[in-house]
Amino acid sequence: MSEELLHPDEALRLVLEAGRAAFRASLGGGTESLPLAAALGRHMPAAILATLDQPPFDKSAMDGFAVGMSLEEARRFGEGRQAVWEVVGTIAAGSAAEAGPGPGRVHRVMTGAPLPPGTAFVQRVEYTRAFEGRDDRIVFELREKSDNIIRRGENLRAGDILLGPRRLGPADIGILASSGFAKVSVARRPIVGIISTGDELEAAGATLGPASIYDSNGPQLAAQVEALGALPKFYGIVRDEEAALRGALERALAECEVIVLSGGVSMGDFDYVPKTLEALGVRRIFHKLAMKPGKPTWFGTRGTTAVFGLPGNPLSTFVNFEVFLGPHLEARMGVEGRSRILSLPLGAPLSRKSADRAEYLPVRLAREGEGGRSVVHPLDYHGSSMLSVLAEAEGLARLEIGVYSLPEGGHVDVRLLRS
Ligand code: AMP
Ligand code: MG
């Protein structure tokens, strides 16, 4: 066995490089401006700078009274007698600030209200009582430990980075709105053509012949593409026949930015994918990886179009998308590094018979023992056709090349699955 197998880390580097090159080539035409309400889940490739100080004015963190004296002075003001403060006005959130309080005089302020100039601290309402039942005279219990003021620019200053490049989540939408952005510039969604190859395949809903199986890769890849924020376009099931494959690929190459095929990349008599792609001018970047599942994976480019030929086994198709295609699509949309990989201890010892490839194992996570630390349990499965194992999987643990066994407590890198 003297096959040249590429390390998956090197394969990822090449796949990301192709994604970045496509992103650079698309700059200008690669983004669109969307209202915030339509931007959830979209990829924002450029950092956004704050245009406002946050908060934009000194404001009260409490319902209470704005006091012009420092806490020390206020204590002296009340020494040896009961200090009675005169309430000279009320400032609600949203009202304009008023002239500053004078000695012994305070403004009633609501949380979020702009503070009168010269306010030294806010006495919260819980530590006060009305003097002789009057609401324009107040008595303080001076227990404040902080000034209860949120200063202008304390959270963020104009010109600071408001948000770095990212896929926009609900919090990001809130952050953009808080700085007054009604629109945001996001990457266009790349069109990803999906082709299922195999004479044995039938679409869900059809009747199965004695030697046929349902196409699960097509719908699953379309869902993975969609979940990642790109646009899937399904070209159907294509028979293992050169002319049919060529026809589907020609259409997909004309219409898509990324193409993903499943099946037909191995060494079988009917595995036409690599040679058909090369005949259509798709330049091979790699074929065959030192990984399990996913060894026969093929990747190439034509201009900025990227083509992935994934092995047909459903689990390897799934793993391949997680490890290569997803990161490639993100790089194409100008946002990288979203895979979440944690180093976690195994909940039980683990061993395998051969270690010439990096292996991705579906795992579940559990909190065990004292303190409930998180541990990893590989799920029981019988090879890469057993897609149903993914129903229980929360992550993919990677066993490195050369590692035959790991003890309980030994650490593995776990890629958390996108939910
Ligand atoms: P291949 O990579 O074409 O040699 O296929 C490997 C295995 O995956 C075979 O058992 C195929 O039947 C199965 N397979 C291929 N394509 C699909 C698909 N789209 N959906 C489900 N299973 C598939
Ligand atoms: Mg096949």
Tens of pLDDT, residue by residue over 333-351, are 999 988 899 999 999 999 9
State the pLDDT at residue 143.
Answer: 82
Ligand 1 within 6 A of CB of 217: yes
Ligand 1 within 6 A of CB of 216: yes
The CA-based diameter of the chain, rounded to the nearest angstrom, is 101
State the pLDDT at residue 419.
Answer: 62
Are 240 and 272 a contacting pair, CB within 8 Å?
yes
Report how far ligand 1's centroid is from the alpha carbon of 354 (Å). 24
Residue 197 CA: nearest ligand 1 atom is 16
Tokens of 329: 């699509």
State the pLDDT at residue 384.
Answer: 66
Q: Which residues surround ligand 2, an ion (CB under 5 A)?
A: 198, 263-264, 312
What single-letter DSSP state applies at residue 324? Answer: I
Looking from the CA of 373 toward its CB, the CA atoms found within 13 Å total 10
Q: Coil, strand, or helix at residue 194?
A: strand
Residue/partner pairs of 98-101 with CB below 8 Å, 24 or more apart: 100/68, 101/66, 101/67, 101/68
Q: Rounded distance, CA 274 to CA 191, Å? A: 22
Ligand 1 pocket mutation, candidates 208, 212, 217, criterion most atoms within 8 A of CB: 217
State the pLDDT at residue 97.
Answer: 67
Mean of all residue pLDDT scores within the chain: 94
State the pLDDT at residue 78.
Answer: 73
- Ligand 1, atom 3, residue with closest C-alpha: 263
Beta strands 358-368 and 341-345, pairing class: unpaired
Name the residue among 60, 70, 99, 67 with its Cα closest to residue 86. Answer: 67
Residues of the chain below pLDDT 70: 1-2, 28, 80, 97, 384, 418-419
Residue 222 contacts by C-beta under 8 Å, 6 or more apart in sequence?
A: 194, 232, 234
C-alpha distances in angstroms, 323 versus 79, 91, 226, 287, 342?
A: 70, 56, 16, 16, 14
Q: Rounded distance, CA 240 to CA 197, Å? A: 6
Global pTM reads: 0.91
Ligand 1 pocket mutation, candidates 194, 195, 201, 265, criterion most atoms within 8 A of CB: 201
Ligand 1 within 6 A of CB of 202: no
Residue 265 CA: nearest ligand 1 atom is 2
Report how far ligand 2's centroid is from the alpha carbon of 241 (Å). 11
State the pLDDT at residue 418.
Answer: 65
Residue 215 CA: nearest ligand 1 atom is 20
State the pLDDT at residue 356.
Answer: 97
Residue 38's CB: how many other CB atoms inside 10 A? 12
Ligand 1 within 6 A of CB of 263: yes
Are 184 and 176 a contacting pair, CB within 8 Å?
yes
For the stretch 273-287, what's the b/e string if a residue is b when 16 or more beta carbons lie within 10 angstroms of its beta carbon? bbebbeebebeebbb
